[in-house]
Chain A
């Protein structure tokens, strides 16, 4: 008997396709929006927490701990103020932790250019899928997404982007050699172009090589004469610097390496006691550096995101209630419009209960279809949520 009710309800809903589709869409979205948002927030929390939990301590310039964490862990565009290599040396010399300095000031064609020591790759378990890790000055290795976005592979070159086109005294862009592409890690590392710290400092202008200049071609043509040994820079300006096997030996650095800039130092304490002792070193107010615990910073950041989530929940609950009322109204109006049809069914000999069951069957089918659609949409959110979070929130 129930089968017949459902069949009639199905035929009725199939006949009124547009109305049925709108009702199913409204009902499913009422469920999908709050649940999908929570799924996305959970994915974001998982990703941000996982990276932060893997980074026990972070040393950087005094100021916003959120900016420092976002710069060092997520290579955010708003770079935190630089500190010096002396800070990394200080962490290492303490004997309590291993330092991993990071320099993420530059961007190249929209991708973060991150200067690290090779220990970073071991620490983050990043290995090349194609090619090798950087070996010599001027080499770079690309994160998975960076390689896709830039369309580069091992053996290609990548010129760095000048910081300021109008800085005539600035350093030339450096032509980086792509030595490898890292396997996908589903972290912000996928977006980065990694270079050795020393290459980063060459880009900064702290290290350079000397190009051989050719003797002046026509010294006698000049008004005040010119000695034959006089050198003259080529009129065709070099538009970039390239480190090659021929000139690599001429590259050198000036000044004390301890004074070279870095963005932050990831400190890997040997044990809990060492972590506590190291944190104690940064308690003085007059220090220009701070030590932060990325898990705590991230949790605080996520707490704010969850507050936004709660606000969304409120909004969705209100909108959902209004939607339900509107749907109730639509349904009651629809019943009023169908009064003659329902009366006919009754006159044909069906009881009032049967008519009620018919209407109920329609509601059950609508609810079921909406639930299925809602589930499918949530599955899509679950499947692509991690990627969306990486693309729109973390990268």
Chain B
């Protein structure tokens, strides 16, 4: 009798395995490998894909993705991905110097390219590991207009569905939740910034063009870095700017050094950090960072 039972054990094991397999069928599918060129896109991909995607942001921490240049290793990573999520609007200036499969690329802002903001008279300057650069051409922080961000998320979701149609319902459901969050954020931004639409504002860097347009802000930009004390000439230029554009608030990509903040305060200008969040934040996520940005502006008199 025991020998009969032993003989049946493999058979029973096979049956048990078959019973378990259908329930795990979709888990067996390899995750969709996505490489994103900036953090907002990586965040959208993670929100839309959930556990069904493996998102990679090849830009090193602390580096500005807009001025990052991929090396052969990073290009190899992108080549092996199933989907390469690009911001468009000339964000990926390195694109013409690398070999990437076009059919795997999705330009998430292509749907509103007629709404790109073109910058003239750009200044070339230098900071960080990327060396000297210019903000000329097209304004690329498209996601700071949260309505545009939602359209970028939708374009990304469509591309993900094309790659993995079997997960369409899941991706669509997650996109709806993300779109709802971005809509709430947009409403909050309009509420916080709308009250300042008549007020002149300053920005330390020309990266808030879409935020300004969406919320009808009167924003003028300089080219200052949070950790570098501006030169006497730059302070002089600010004085002249303030004479015609009497701003009381200056938006910064990160908290400026206490010396800069103090000197600005002496001029009657409050420094407020509004992080564009182009790279992955040290803590929190895209929505959290944007909410904190709005809270900081809201608290500023």
Residue numbers of A with Cβ under 8 A of B are: 98, 117-119, 121-122, 132-137, 139, 179, 196, 198-199, 207, 245, 248-249, 251-253
Contact = CB atoms under 8 A, between A and B. Distances in A.
17 contacts: A117-B99, A118-B79, A118-B101, A119-B103, A122-B103, A133-B76, A135-B79, A135-B98, A136-B72, A137-B96, A139-B99, A179-B72, A198-B97, A198-B99, A207-B96, A251-B97, A252-B96
B75 interface: yes
The dominant DSSP class at the A interface is: mixed
Contacts of A196: 99
Contacts of B98: 135-137
A138 to B, nearest CB: 9
Interface string B67-107: 00101100110010000000000000000111111111000
A135 B103 contact: no
Contact of A136 (B99, B101, B102): B99
Interface string B97-141: 111111110000000000000000000000000000000000000
A115 to B, nearest CB: 11
A118 B76 contact: no
A262 to B, nearest CB: 13
A253 B96 contact: yes
B79 A133 contact: yes
Interface in B25-76: 69, 71-72, 75-76
Find the residue from A118, A119, A121, A133 having the highest chain B CB count within 10 A: A118
Contacts of A117: 99, 101-103
B69 A133 contact: no
A119 B99 contact: no
Given A118-B79, A249-B69, A133 B104 contact: no
Nearest to A209: B97
Given A133-B76, A179-B72, A198-B99, 4 more contacts: A98-B103, A139-B99, A196-B99, A245-B71
A102 to B, nearest CB: 13
A341 B75 CA distance: 85
In the A-B complex, the 4 residue pairs with the closest CB atoms = A135-B75, A196-B99, A118-B101, A135-B72
Interface string B254-276: 00000000000000000000000
Contacts of B75: 135-136
Contacts of A251: 97
B100 A118 contact: yes
Contact of A135 (B69, B96, B99, B104): B99
B96 A133 contact: no
B66 to A, nearest CB: 15
Nearest to B100: A118
Contacts of B104: 119
B132 to A, nearest CB: 10
Contact of B76 (A121, A132, A199): A132
The dominant DSSP class at the B interface is: helix
A196 B97 CA distance: 10
B81 to A, nearest CB: 11
Find the residue from B97, B98, B103, B104 having the highest chain A CB count within 10 A: B97
Contacts of A133: 76, 79, 99
A118 B95 CA distance: 13
B65 to A, nearest CB: 16
A136 B103 contact: no
Contacts of B79: 118, 133, 135
Contacts of A118: 79, 99-102
A196 B75 CA distance: 13
A118 B101 CA distance: 4
Nearest to A121: B101
Contacts of B103: 98, 117, 119, 122
Given A133-B79, A135-B76, A136-B72, A249 B97 contact: yes
Nearest to A141: B99
A248 B97 CA distance: 7
B253 to A, nearest CB: 23
Contacts of A137: 96-99
B92 to A, nearest CB: 14
Nearest to A101: B102
A295 B66 CA distance: 45
A179 B96 CA distance: 18
Contacts of A136: 72, 75, 97-99
Nearest to B74: A135
A122 B99 contact: no
A179 B98 CA distance: 13
Nearest to B78: A135
Nearest to B98: A136
Nearest to A137: B97
A122 B101 contact: yes
Nearest to B103: A119
A202 B79 CA distance: 21
B246 to A, nearest CB: 40
Given A132-B76, A135-B75, A136-B72, A119 B102 contact: yes
Find the residue from B69, B96, B98, B99 having the highest chain A CB count within 10 A: B99
Nearest to B94: A249
Contacts of B96: 137, 198, 207, 252-253
A249 B69 CA distance: 9
A245 B98 CA distance: 12
B289 to A, nearest CB: 30
B241 to A, nearest CB: 32
A122 B69 CA distance: 25
B73 to A, nearest CB: 8
Contacts of A122: 101, 103
Nearest to B131: A249
Nearest to B77: A135
Contacts of B97: 136-137, 198, 248-249, 251
